[in-house]
Structure 1
Amino acid sequence: MTHSILVPLSVLDLAPVVEGGTPGDAFRNTLELAQLAERSGYNRYWLAEHHNMAGIASSATSVVIGYVAGGTKRIRVGSGGIMLPNHAPLVIAEQFGTLESMFPGRIDLGLGRAPGSDQTTARALRRDLATHGQDFPELLAELRAFFHPPADAVRPVRATPGEGLNIPIWLLGSSGFSAKLAGELGLPFSFASHFAPEYLMPAIHLYRSNFRPSDALAKPYVMIGINIVAADTDEEARWLATSQQQQFLSLIRGNPGKLKPPVDDMDELWLPHEREALQSKFKYAIAGSKATIAARLQEIRSETMADELIVTSQIYDHAARLRSYEILAEAAGLGGSSAS
């Protein structure tokens, strides 16, 4: 029997470029996955800004959001997230104002303060590296003012499109900084527990304890990121999940690349201390069959009382990735239909 987890389930897509594949392949796969997510009952479909990473194709995030929104009909589409310090707030206001004008009521703007890249790439993005994201609250205030200027403000520069549009703004984080800020501003908060699980519970507490109701949100709303690989058997799922494990291993070794095929034995690739480090990062990762997924989802929901879960699945084979999200939808009782 399938039991609903009673909270919305969403997709975080890193638009993976696999070994032997191209960014063009990644975008076509992204659209096909988004269409499946819409049919299956997922709530939103987010894409993330990363730069100088051969295995992630969504660097021009707003462009990919437009591509996905244009190929779907109902599902919310947005950023998970836009790294605001990389951009002039006016540019983001105009980009997302454009997206919201094209696809009314379907666009989310999730914002982070990390560079989404290494320091050399950050310089190429024309960032002021001296702030380390500490100016994020000021950039956020400037961006929000472009959407909703104070009534008495004289605005020599206006966001067109953008001004007057109600685009939900989310703060994203992997530490306490954005959790506290999101609470103070009364904004929804999404935590990156798919790569920073050790800070999840402290960040949720910080967000909820600092929450102040706002025009945007009457009570706290928390979404958490989870790595999930689902398959018809636990054994197959664990095998498929080795692609993601290899990706994390490459990151901690400072050598990121394209997503690799699964392997039979990770112990042949990682050293004992690397295995230990990576296993700590996968506290909220699930690899298994529908029954395994359903049971663990219930545990995570009970532990965190999250209002929504957003799932990322770095799976090498595209057909297996589609199947993973189908199984997950069944495990969570989303009630969608896999029919076209």
Structure 2
Amino acid sequence: MTLSILDLAPVVSGGTVGDALRRTLDLARRAEGFGYRRYWLAEHHFSPGVAGSAPAVLIALVAAATSRIRVGSGAVQLGHQTPLSAVEQFGLIDALHPGRIDLGIGRSGQRRAEITAGPAAGAAADQQEARLGDRVVDGLLIPPPFDWSALARRPELARQAALLQQPGARTPDFAEQIDDVLAFLGGTHPHARAVPGEGADLEVWILGSSGGQSAQVAGERGLPFAANYHVSPSSVLEAVEAYREAFKPSDALAEPYVIVSADAVVAGTRARARELARGYGLWVRSIRTGAGAIPYPTGAQADAHAWTDADRELVRDRVDTQFVGDPGEVAEGLRVLRRVTGADELLITTITHAHEDRVRSYELLADAWNRP
């Protein structure tokens, strides 16, 4: 099976965090039965609609509730904690569930600081590309880059970044942090040993949304790489290309290994799938306006929003690249994504308001994917 799952532990409107966590555990058990390869948990903060703020805690719960499926983080944000603490947490989980745990690492903590500091170095190029509009590459939609400049000007973003670290703390360079993680795991760190953690049978992954430092670090250290089509569809091709160009064989990998993420909603018919996906645009809008993910709305709640042209443009790239339809239609779209990116696996995120619809979506997709 070359499909895996990324779960944000979404809180839906009218639901509670407890409901979200119980649904995550249920979905993980079902996903194992459906044959999915991995079950990853995300890290998000300041989001009323996402319960996954502490991936290590959720991973421990999911690993205990399952027996075969790999469980991991998509991703731990090293801008918010030290390499030692991440290795100790995941080493502790591995001690009880050896050979099943993935330590996925992201640099969103650093990206948050960079965004609040000012426009990215490539902002002018992104704006020029945005004016060119959508591209279709061998059947895969590549929308223009999302402009983060308006979000970067919101003062609460800087306040949130400060709350995620101790006062005066400095986040080291991402490459240095990854080297520390690998040294602690391998028992070669010059200053200390991580117990638990040293010798843990973890797969270390790097997650990235562009061809920048995350892709470079993953390639140069010979680690597997996860590229975000569902978060940043405009730059997925550059991300995987940069990773492959930088790749050097390591003890972990002889050749590059890529997983690509995608949003998908599957139902028995295209019309039903579109009905289930109606809340997605309003949910994305809440993230893109800086308010943090709201509890996932019903279709009726989304329809009741007074949509403006600016709102629609704000979410267009995410809505247009969500795979929504009947099982065959979505499976074919995902095969295009795999072919164009050269992905070895796909990482699927599905959010619906009703839990049974989300479970059924993953079940239908697994059946269609495995069908010749």
TM-score by length of 1: 0.90
**Matched-pair identity in %:** 43
1:185 aligns with 2:224: no
Partner of 2:140: none
SS of 1:199's equivalent in the other structure is helix
Partner of 2:232: 196
Shift of 1:160: 0.9
**Gaps spanning 5+ residues in structure 2: where?**
113-156
1:135 aligns with 2:170: no
> Using a 3 Å threshold, how does the CA distance of structure 1 residues 242 and 269 change in structure 2: closer, same or farther?
farther
> Using a 3 Å threshold, how does the CA distance of structure 1 residues 146 and 128 change in structure 2: closer, same or farther?
farther
Partner of 2:242: 206
Give the distance between the partners of 1:16 and 1:334, measured in 2 at CA: 29
Partner of 1:91: 85
Q: 2:344 aligns with which of 299, 303, 307?
A: 307
Give the distance between the partners of 2:365 and 2:158, measured in 1 at CA: 37
Q: 2:300 aligns with which of 260, 263, 270?
A: 263
> Using a 3 Å threshold, how does the CA distance of structure 1 residues 240 and 129 change in structure 2: closer, same or farther?
farther
Greater RCO between the two (CA within 8 Å, min separation 6)? 1
Give the distance between the partners of 1:193 and 1:123, measured in 2 at CA: 28
> Using a 3 Å threshold, how does the CA distance of structure 1 residues 239 and 125 change in structure 2: closer, same or farther?
same
Partners of 2:240 and 2:258 within 8 A in 1: yes
Partners of 1:197 and 1:283 within 8 A in 2: no
Give the distance between the partners of 1:200 and 1:147, measured in 2 at CA: 29
Partners of 2:42 and 2:73 within 8 A in 1: yes
> Using a 3 Å threshold, how does the CA distance of structure 1 residues 90 and 292 change in structure 2: closer, same or farther?
same
Give the distance between the partners of 1:288 and 1:129, measured in 2 at CA: 49
Which shows bigger deviation, 289-298 or 119-128?
119-128
Aligned ranges 1:70-149 → 2 under 5 Å: 70-115=64-109, 118-126=157-165, 135-149=173-187
1:247 aligns with 2:283: yes
Shift of 1:161: 0.9
Give the counterpart letter for 2:58 in structure 1: V
Shift of 1:330: 1.1
Partner of 2:205: 170
SS of 2:206's equivalent in the other structure is strand
Give the distance between the partners of 1:38 and 1:129, measured in 2 at CA: 43
Shift of 1:320: 0.6
Partners of 1:100 and 1:106 within 8 A in 2: yes
Give the counterpart letter for 2:205 in structure 1: W
Give the counterpart letter for 2:227 in structure 1: F
Partners of 1:107 and 1:168 within 8 A in 2: yes
Q: 2:60 aligns with which of 66, 70, 84?
A: 66
> Using a 3 Å threshold, how does the CA distance of structure 1 residues 145 and 235 change in structure 2: closer, same or farther?
same
Give the distance between the partners of 1:63 and 1:334, measured in 2 at CA: 35
RMSD: 2.1
Shift of 1:267: 9.1
Partner of 1:322: 359
> Using a 3 Å threshold, how does the CA distance of structure 1 residues 124 and 293 change in structure 2: closer, same or farther?
same
Cα deviation code 1:180-202 (max 9, x no counterpart): 11111111000111010000001
Give the counterpart letter for 2:41 in structure 1: L
**Gaps spanning 5+ residues in structure 1: where?**
1-6, 336-340
Shift of 1:296: 1.0
Partners of 1:41 and 1:334 within 8 A in 2: no
Which shows bigger deviation, 223-232 or 249-258?
249-258
Give the counterpart letter for 1:190 in structure 2: A
Which shows bigger deviation, 138-147 or 78-87?
138-147
Aligned ranges 1:50-61 → 2 under 5 Å: 50-61=44-55
Give the distance between the partners of 2:177 and 2:166, measured in 1 at CA: 13
SS of 1:228's equivalent in the other structure is strand
Give the counterpart letter for 2:288 in structure 1: I
SS of 1:238's equivalent in the other structure is helix
Partners of 1:195 and 1:282 within 8 A in 2: no
Give the counterpart letter for 1:12 in structure 2: L
> Using a 3 Å threshold, how does the CA distance of structure 1 residues 105 and 224 change in structure 2: closer, same or farther?
same
Give the counterpart letter for 2:233 in structure 1: P
Give the distance between the partners of 2:231 and 2:41, measured in 1 at CA: 16
Give the counterpart letter for 2:239 in structure 1: A
Give the distance between the partners of 1:252 and 1:211, measured in 2 at CA: 33
TM-score by length of 2: 0.82
Cα deviation code 1:43-88 (max 9, x no counterpart): 0000011111111101111011000000000000000000011102
Cα deviation code 1:269-290 (max 9, x no counterpart): 4222332342222453201011
> Using a 3 Å threshold, how does the CA distance of structure 1 residues 260 and 267 change in structure 2: closer, same or farther?
closer
- Number of corresponding residues: 325
Give the counterpart letter for 2:10 in structure 1: P
Give the counterpart letter for 2:207 in structure 1: L
SS of 1:242's equivalent in the other structure is coil
